[in-house]
């Protein structure tokens, strides 16, 4: 399974969702259904989030490489303790904000850290609208976790260091409350028509 995941590093044609489906996972779903399975070396069906090296790509280069969900891009990366992650044309700087991710049953699942992308070289970079949320998993001791540790000990890669990154440009991501549904748009378009242009059945 580990080798299969690593193949995604250079595979830009990873699994696509069927037409009509939009990849829009919640914080809890990212940790429980994706990151936890990645760390535990459990199978993915389908395996839609690729592995990418964060330092290799500027945020605008992620399209076609990371998993796209609307105007957001998702990928696995290796956890690092660096507060600044340098790319070709800039760097990601930590905002210093950490958020605890809780399950619907109020259990601690992991952490979400926030980063902002700056153009140039630190510390004289220019702030952009590109943001990143980095999700890390909190391990819980259990029989399954001990078996996962045994599997990891047989691998050359420490899978407990994986994180999930969600990258987006802030001015292109409206809140759900501000987004109009297709049906709302139809009703609004009808308001622009004259009454004589609309023929309703009697």
**What are the tens digits of pLDDT across the range 149-175?**
555 454 455 656 899 999 999 985 444
Residue 116 class from Cβ within 10 Å (0-12 exposed, 13-18 middle, 19+ buried)? middle
**What are the tens digits of pLDDT across the range 32-66?**
999 999 998 888 777 899 999 988 999 999 999 99
Q: How far apart are CA 161 and CA 51, in angstroms?
A: 13
Q: How far apart are CA 4 and CA 108, in angstroms?
A: 30
**What are the tens digits of pLDDT across the range 76-127?**
999 887 777 899 999 999 998 899 999 999 999 999 999 999 999 999 999 9
- CB count in 10 Å sphere of residue 152: 17
Q: How far apart are CA 174 and CA 172, in angstroms?
A: 6
DSSP assignment letter at 70: T
Of 53, 131, 50, the closest CA to residue 92 belongs to: 131
């Amino acid at each position: 399974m580990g080798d299969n995941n690593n193949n995604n590093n250079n595979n830009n044609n990873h699994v696509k969702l069927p037409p009509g489906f939009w990849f829009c996972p919640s914080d809890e779903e990212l940790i429980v259904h994706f990151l936890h399975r990645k760390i535990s070396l459990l199978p993915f069906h389908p395996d839609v989030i690729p592995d990418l090296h964060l330092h290799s790509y500027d945020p605008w280069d992620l399209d076609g490489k990371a998993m796209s969900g609307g105007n957001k891009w998702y990928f696995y990366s290796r956890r690092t303790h660096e507060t600044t992650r340098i790319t070709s044309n800039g760097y990601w700087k930590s905002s210093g904000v950490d958020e605890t991710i809780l399950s619907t049953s109020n259990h601690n699942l992991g952490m979400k850290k926030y980063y902002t992308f700056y153009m140039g070289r630190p510390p004289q970079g220019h702030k952009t609208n590109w943001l990143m949320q980095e999700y890390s998993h909190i391990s819980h001791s259990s029989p399954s976790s001990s078996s996962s540790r045994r599997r990891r000990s047989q691998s050359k890669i420490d899978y407990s260091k994986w994180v999930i990154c969600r990258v987006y440009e802030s001015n292109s991501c409206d809140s759900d409350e501000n987004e109009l549904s297709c049906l709302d748009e139809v009703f609004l378009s009808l308001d622009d028509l004259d009454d004589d242009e609309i023929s309703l059945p009697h």
